[in-house]
Amino acid sequence: MLRPDAAFRSGAAFDAIADDIALPTGGAGKGDFAALMRDVKQEVTDFIENGGGDSDAVMGLDAAARAYLARQGMAPAAEPEPASAGIQQDGLPADSRAFLDAIAPLAAETGRRLGVSPDILAAQAALESGWGQRPIRQSDGRDTHNLFGIKAGGAWQGGSASIATTEYEGGAKLSRTERFRSYTNPGEAFRDFGRLLLDNPRYKGALNTGNDVAAYARGLTQGGYATDPQYGAKLARIAARLQSGD
């Protein structure tokens, strides 16, 4: 469980994180390591200043930042990666990279329709699905392929799945059971998401925002897409990693 009220140890105490991180391989030296430490410290500082968050917020952090927060009792410890998973040159675990590669053509197609960078849409799918590792499932375990967390309202004619979820009302975090749309494949999820944004005037502010993830997130939140007050910040953090190639 997250503990956003825990004291944040800055300065020299923070530097202890270096003890648990090996120097990068492939010719990287002390300069690269120092830059990594600066990035990690900034991520942790931003996380604390924003009041922590749920598991989605943690997923948006660099692996080193997640490790530091876990040691402070401020985030759940990450499950160990299988030895065969490995870390790719872009710094992502192999399963995360495989997820992004699988949805890349869908993100590109939908991005063209919406006027939004494919990297931003891929980041949103990663945020909503836990990089494809925490999908919304039917009661029998089947994947709904709902990559964007779209709920099944009264007008929805397709399949659905009811699961426990977290919502925010007036800043308060509440747990409730909601119905979510179910698709037969990820392509359906992307196409339905595109239609949702194009056909609903509430989301016009998110359209044609290109690479501007802040403008895109602002358009979504103003339209009421998500109740999490940190949704935009989480999305921006993941998108920044994808756009930078880190």
219-228 LR contacts (CB < 8 Å, sep 24+): 226/149, 227/167, 227/168, 227/169, 228/54, 228/56, 228/166, 228/168
Beta bridge partners of 174: 167
Distance CA(108)–CA(112), nearest Å, equals: 6
Which residues contact residue 94 at a Cβ distance below 8 angstroms, ignoring those fewer than 6 apart?
84, 85, 86, 87, 88
The one catalytic residue in 90, 192, 212, 246 is 192
Active site residue 143: no
Structure tokens at 190: 């992307």
Active site residue 128: no
The one catalytic residue in 20, 32, 46, 167 is 167
Distance CA(138)–CA(33), nearest Å, equals: 44
For the annotated catalytic residues, the residue numbers are 167, 192
